[in-house]
């Protein structure tokens, strides 16, 4: 599949969301990985913006999104980054809504500042994450061993996650593209 070669950011968000929606059955049934019912879309504020101004800019870009397309709130984390927290009843719904959000942010001129869409999952007794990075147009795994920034990452699990889903999701195979995001409001 060569969807990642497209220069159309709108198509990238839609295609990435469709891929995650299709992965639902495999994630849930084969890997016993369950969505938390939320997804976070992290936006980098302009260097000159206050957290309040960055949040207002994201809210403005999302004005055209109706409540039938996506249920979401815009919040600011401890670092002043705005997050769009999307809520849904299942992974296909969450993925579709995240595609709408990503497309609206790109259409509102914020596409280049979207860092990632983070899909949190419960697996066994812990949380694991799949992150769609529009910059690399691929998903990357994140498996923290704790909840704070001093925590470690479970790199062997991340490698297994990527290998298990690379035929289902477009994944970044270069580990140098995988990075943690700590302190998520998810």
28-53 tens-digit pLDDT: 888 889 999 999 999 999 999 999 99
Q: Determine, yes or no, domain membership for 176.
A: no
Quote the pLDDT of residue 12: 84
Quote the pLDDT of residue 101: 94
Instruction: Read off the tokens for 55.
Output: 């949040």
Rounded-to-integer distance, Cα 94 and Cα 168, Å: 17
- Count CB atoms within 10 A of the CB of residue 115: 17
CA angle 174, 175, 180 (to 5 degrees): 135
Quote the pLDDT of residue 147: 67
Contacts of 42 (CB under 8 A, 6+ apart): 81, 82, 83, 114, 115, 116, 117, 118, 181, 184
Q: What is the tally of structural domains in the chain?
A: 1
Q: Determine, yes or no, domain membership for 35.
A: yes
**What's this model's pTM, rounded to 2 decimal places?**
0.90
Q: Determine, yes or no, domain membership for 185.
A: no
The 10s digit of each residue's pLDDT in 111-138 is 999 999 999 999 988 999 999 999 999 9
Rounded-to-integer distance, Cα 154 and Cα 173, Å: 16
Q: Which parts of the chain have pLDDT scores under 50?
A: 1-10
Q: Determine, yes or no, domain membership for 177.
A: no
Tell me which residue range forms the domain holding 115. Answer: 3-170
Quote the pLDDT of residue 1: 32
Quote the pLDDT of residue 148: 63
């Amino acid at each position: 599949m060569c969807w990642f070669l497209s220069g159309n950011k709108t198509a990238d968000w839609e295609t990435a969301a469709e891929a995650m929606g299709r992965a639902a059955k495999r994630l849930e049934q084969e890997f016993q990985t369950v969505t938390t019912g939320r997804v976070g879309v992290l936006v980098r504020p302009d260097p000159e913006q206050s957290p309040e101004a960055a949040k207002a800019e994201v809210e403005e870009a999302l004005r055209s999104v109706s409540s039938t397309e996506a249920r979401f709130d815009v919040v600011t984390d401890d670092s002043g980054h705005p997050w769009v927290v999307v809520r849904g009843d299942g992974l296909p719904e969450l993925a579709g809504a995240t595609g709408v959000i990503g497309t609206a942010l790109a259409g509102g001129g914020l596409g280049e500042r979207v860092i990632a869409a983070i899909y949190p999952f419960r697996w066994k007794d812990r949380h694991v994450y799949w992150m769609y990075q529009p910059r690399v147009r691929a998903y990357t795994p994140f498996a923290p061993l704790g909840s704070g920034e001093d925590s470690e990452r479970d790199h062997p699990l991340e490698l297994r996650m990527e290998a298990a889903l690379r035929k289902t999701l477009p994944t970044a195979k270069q580990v140098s593209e995988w990075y943690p995001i700590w302190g998520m409001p998810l």
